[in-house]
Amino acid sequence: MEVTPDDIQEYDESAPTSAETETATFALGCFWGPDARFGSFDGVIRTRVGYAGGTTADPTYHDIGNHTEAVQLEYDPSEITYTTLLMIALESHDPRRQPSKRQYQHILFPTSSQKETVKTVLDSNGFDINSVATRITSPPSPFYHAEDYHQKYHLRSKRWAIEAFDDAGYDEEALRESPTAAILNATAAGHETHITEPIADTPNQ
């Protein structure tokens, strides 16, 4: 597969800006998998991983405190709804059970306007918002970006992609926030997207 710096810049410049998107945040275990999976869906514009749900200031991977690994999404509500994203999150784990290790626990972080949707979706699936094991934190707690090497984890193993971002002049923050990187990270993890076929089994180039 070939991606050029021009491809990256053209796609990113055509994507909705952050001001034109809405945000959803979920903790669903190790954040590498959800980051890649959500990036494969049409309408999800940007993804980033980090730490949320706790009170410890400035958590890191090796000193996470009482936070949990989480993924934060920017999505275009004209293409995909919060309800759809929430259903994907709920289908990825059992809301009746909670991992014992806080770092990998399941948490929904709805905004005030999203909380009613959480209740409606849980009710429609036979769950009581007040008794599910999945934690619900609303309004969301602060979201701290994870270290650069955790961002777009699967994409980083594809030299052809990383070199293209380097040639396009992208630094670590730009890579993290790139819509192109979100999709290619999904592709690198083996998910089919609207721009490419899965490449997880393709040898590194």
Q: Indicate which residues carry an active-site annotation.
A: 30
d(CA 195, CA 53): 34
d(CA 78, CA 43): 8
Q: How many residues does the chain have?
A: 205
d(CA 150, CA 142): 18
d(CA 87, CA 64): 28
CB 44 within 8 A of CB 15: no
**CA torsion angle for 189, 193, 198, 204 (degrees, to 10)?**
-60
Residue closest to 10 by CA, chosen among 152, 142, 141, 168: 168
d(CA 198, CA 103): 29
For residue 27, list its beta bridge partners: 107
d(CA 85, CA 103): 22
d(CA 45, CA 177): 9
